[in-house]
Each structure stands twice: as structure tokens, then as C-alpha cells.
Amino acid sequence: MSNLWSKCVIKFFKYAPSYVVCLCFLPAGFIFGYTICAFIAERKHDGNLIDYGPLILGACLAFVSALCFFLIKYLKKCIIYWQPLLLIATGVFNLIASCFYFADGFDHVGAYMSYVAHSLTFVAGYGFLHTISSKVSRSLMISGCCSCYLGGISSAVSLIGASYVKNLNEYAGQAATTEQLIDGIYVNFAATYLSISAVMLAVLIGLKVLHVLGTVDMTNSLDNDLRIANANGSIFEPRAEVIKKLQFFYVTKNQQWHVTLLLLFTEAVQYALFIYLVFWFALNDAMRLHDLAHIDAMFWVIFAGSVLAIICLCFYSAKVQFVSTQLLLLLITVLGMIIYGTTGSKVTFWFLLLLFGMSYSSQQIVLLEVTHLRFTECIIFASYTMKLISVSVVYYYFVANVENSYFYSVDENTLMAQGFVFMIITALVALVVGMKVPRTHRTKLQDIQCEVYGIIFMKHQIEQLNVRWLNDGTIPTISQ
């Protein structure tokens, strides 16, 4: 029994840095939940709360941090794990920012500071987990980050939404001003945000202390091949140098940047669909899934889908999970349109949110896995920025204008047309990802790099080939 306990303790401390980094996305989700609520609360008012300043600042900070990581990799020719220090800095920013939400009129100051922490969490968190994790835990940890993020969003929407609805009921039938409607709605949010930020900062500092004491290791990857390559300086070798080192191989066209850019585009499209549906199901009178007082139920369903995704990733790849959920989205959309058109029931659309939660992390996982190791943080910045752009575009062109005849339409023909557009986009995204993304399930990052490089048969796979085919030219090889 004591032997089993010691193994469990060793296992816990082995993965402790990854668990803590996953939890860092909880306050980041809190911040975005505040943004969603602010968009909904302010869409009918000419207030100063809703502007794009915090989002722009977050994108700029993400660019600066990504550029710094790229320069460090370029100069040092290896990965240096400074992300935990950056996450401690985000903890400080979160702690200070949470204090501004207590005072009415100063929440926008907190928003700017919060988005500094938000952007740095994305760049440092994903960048750390991408290379520190083993081939078995990599997809699970990244998916865990997404679940914590969605959990933070759901919690923030629950807290802010309840306070906002309370104010709406209090001023029902009166010509309430913007200040009256948003008075005190962020107090409960601020208290929870402050508590979470303080706990996370303490945990991050404690983790750093344990690293100094040698109890946990935050500077060596659990992927053995990657750790060795990082130690001997060969981790960023160009494709031509990798090919020279292989004795038997079959080389095709380099697909890495092609696949990476395609995934960036499809991820932005998929995220825009996600944001559009969240606002649509919350604000359109015809499609509203629940009353405004219980709008948080939608986000908790999405969060449940993300938790279910972690379980599914134990058995099959993120690529398979994404394509299968997109196909189910098509099926549920068809059923939902038929059922809604005949009975007026919107129960089926709850399954759409569950499936969105399941597919939320899939593209993030495969995008990180296929990207060039030297440009990981740069790709994370691009992904992060495109998500913010998606949110801004959807809000500006659809949500903000309460007279929008397309987004707020209650006409059945318009609603059906939106359903068909959603189906077409979903089908195209599923087709592109299914055809272009390679197999990455429980595969070492070095092997994934070779696959997207177009190196099909590597030295350690020679036992699987008929050597006679190599000798007589049946399988072409390239010698350099």
C-alpha cells in the first residue's frame, strides 16, 4: 500500500507543473466571460464600457511576448522554459486587475490589466504545455486548458448575469440609465476573481519554490526525444538537415506551413461560428434557448462538452474527434431545423452547444502539434489574435446593431437560411481538417515534425518495409 502511495505522489509531482498551467486558464476564462457579459449588457446603450481597447492591448502584448520567445529560440538555439515566470507575472496582473472591478466606473481599467494577463496566459501556457508534455499527456493537457477556460467563462457569466438581471428587474418599467443597469453587477465577479487570482498566484509561487528545491521539474520535457534534441541543439534543425541524417526514407512535398495556415484559418472560422451561436441563442427572441436570467446554462453545457472531450481524447485523436463532432453538428442541425419548423421545440439545439464544447480544443491541439517548434509562440499569437478578431467582427456586424434584420430576425425563412449557411461552413471546415491534418495521436513531436515535413519512412520504420523494394526502385528515395 505504501508503495502504491509513493507511486501516486511521484506521478502527481511529475505532472504538477502541467496541472497548474491548466488552472491558470481559469482566471483567463473569467476575463473573457466578463467581455461576453459586457457585450450583452451594453449593446443597447452608448456607454464607454464596451470598446476594443483591452482586446487590442491583449493582441499587442501577445505579439511582443511571442516575438521575445522567438528571438530567444533563435539566439540560444534551444527551448528555455521561462513560461512559469511569465505566468507568475500574469498572476500579479490578475490580482491587481481584480481590485478595479469593485468600484463602479473603474472596471474598464481592470479590463485593460486583465487582458494583459489574458494574452500572456495564452502564449506562455500553450507554449509551455506543447513542449513540456509527453506524447500521451500532450493533447489531454491542452484540452484541460480549454476546459478550465470555458469553466472560467461559465462562472463569470453566472455571477455577472445574475447581478445584471437583478438590476433589470429592479428597474422594470422605468427608463433606467446605463449607469443604473450596470451598478454593482461586477462586485460578486470581482470578489471571486480576486480569490482565484490570489490562490493561483500562491500556487505558482509555491510551484517555483518546489522547482528550486528539486521536487518538481519545469525545465525538462517529458518527451524523451525532444528533451535530447533540445539538449544537443538539434531541435530546430531545418528540413534538409533532418533528411541528411536518415538512412532510408521516402520524401514528399513539405506540408508544414500549408497545414499550419489552413488550420489557423479554419480555427478562426470555427471560433466565429461558436461566438455567433452563443450570442444568437442568447439574444435572438426566436432562437433564445433560455431566459436572460439563466443564460449561463448555455455556457455550462459547452463546458460539459469540453470535459467530455478530455475523456474522448484518451481513446482517439483530436483530428478524429473534431471531424466526428462536425459531422454530428451537421446531423443535429438538420434535425433541429426540422423539429423547430414543425413543433417549435429548441431542445435539439442544446446538443449543438455540447458538440461545440467537444470540438473547442481539437483544432488548438492539432495546430500546436503540426507547427514548427521554433515558431510555436508566433502561431499561438496568430491564433489568439484571430480569435479576438472573430469576436470583434461578430459583435460589430451582428450583435451591436439591435436593428440587424439578419441576426435578430424572427422570420422562419431567415432562420432556416442561417441554418443552411452554418451547415455549409461546418461541412467545409470538417472536409479541410479531415483531408489535410496528419495523424498525431500519442505521437512524439519529433515524429510529427517529420510527417509534416513530408518524410514518410524514417529510419526506425525500416523494419516495416520490404528492403528489396527500396533497392530496385519500387519505392523512390532521395539521397542528399
Residue 473 in any domain: the answer is no
pLDDT at residue number 283: 87
Q: Is residue 479 part of a domain?
A: no
Contacts of 120 (CB under 8 A, 6+ apart): 61, 62, 65, 86, 87, 89, 90, 93
What does the pLDDT look like over 190-234, one tens digit per residue?
999 999 999 999 999 999 999 999 889 998 899 888 999 998 888
Contact 82, 120 (CB under 8 A): no
Beta strands in 181-308 (DSSP E): none
State yes or no: pLDDT of 468 exceeds 60.
Answer: no
- Mean pLDDT, residues 320-346 taken together: 91
Instruction: Return the C-alpha cell found at 36.
Output: 461576453
39 pLDDT band, cuts 50/70/90, is confident
Q: 160-193, pLDDT tens digit by residue?
A: 888 887 877 777 666 666 666 677 788 889 999 9
Confidence of residue 47 (pLDDT cuts 50, 70, 90): very low
Instruction: Please tell me the distance from the alpha carbon of residue 342 to that of residue 403, in angstroms, as a whole number.
Output: 27
Handedness of CA 364, 425, 330, 422 (dihedral sign): positive
What is the Cα–Cα distance from 362 to 143, expressed in whole angstroms?
A: 7
Report the mean per-residue pLDDT for the chain: 87
Domain contains 241 = yes
Please name the amino acid found at residue 363. Q
Helix (H), strand (E) counts: the chain? 19, 0
**Does residue 95 fall inside a structural domain?**
yes
In angstroms, the CA 77 to CA 450 distance is 19
Percent of the chain with pLDDT over 90: 55
In a domain, 468, yes or no: no
Lookup: cell for 106? 473603474
Q: Domain for residue 475, yes or no?
A: no
Whether the Cβ atoms of residue 210 and residue 14 lie closer than 8 Å to each other: no
Give the number of domains in the chain.
Answer: 1
Q: Enumerate residues 6+ apart whose C-beta is below 8 A from 259.
A: 370, 436, 437, 438, 452
Average pLDDT in the 450-462 region? Answer: 71
Integer Cα distance of 429 and 422 in angstroms = 11
Domain presence at residue 478: no
pLDDT reading at 472 higher than 70: no
Which one is predicted more confidently, 293 or 32? Answer: 32
Residue 187: inside a domain: yes
Burial class (CB within 10 angstroms; exposed 0-12, middle 13-18, buried 19+) of 121: buried
Q: Does residue 1 sit in helix, strand or coil?
A: coil
> What's the confidence (pLDDT) of residue 187?
87
The span from the CA of 53 to the CA of 111, in Å, is 9
- Report the pLDDT value the prediction gives residue 52, as an integer from 0 to 100: 82
Give the CA count within 13 Å in the CB-facing half-sphere of 403: 0
- Do residues 228 and 62 make contact, with C-beta atoms less than 8 angstroms apart? no
Least confident of 32-36, 72-76, 245-249, 388-392: 245-249
Indicate if the pLDDT at residue 267 is higher than 90.
Answer: yes
Residue whose entry in the numeric block shows the C-alpha cell 461586477: 186
> Rounded to whole angstroms, how far apart are CA atoms 198 and 96?
10
pLDDT confidence of residue 369: 94
The whole domain housing 108 covers 2-463
Taking the C-alpha atoms of residue 187 and residue 184, their distance in angstroms, rounded to an integer, is 6
- The b-or-e profile of 43-72 (16+ CB within 10 A means b, else e) is beeebebbeeebbebbbebbbebbeebbee
Give percent of the chain above pLDDT 70: 89
Note every long-range contact of 465-470, with CB atoms under 8 Å and residues 24 or more positions apart, other chains counting: 465/248, 467/248, 470/248
CATH number at residue 7: 1.20.1250.20
* DSSP one-letter code for 318: H
Query: Helix, strand, coil: what percent of the chain each, to 5?
Result: 75, 0, 25
Q: Using 50, 70 and 90 to split pLDDT, how confident is the model at 48?
A: very low
pLDDT at residue 173 in the model: 64
* Residue 472 CB-density burial (10 A; 0-12 exposed, 13-18 middle, 19+ buried): exposed
C-alpha 184/C-alpha 103 separation (Å) is: 8
Report pLDDT digits (tens) over 109-157.
Answer: 899 999 999 999 999 999 999 999 999 999 999 999 999 999 999 999 9
Res 7: pLDDT: 80
**pLDDT single digits (tens) 63-122:** 999 999 999 999 999 999 999 999 999 999 999 999 998 887 788 889 999 999 999 999
Contacts (Cβ under 8 Å, ≥6 apart) of 156 = 29, 30, 31, 32, 33, 34, 36, 37, 189, 193
pLDDT tens-place string over residues 399-416: 887 778 889 888 888 889
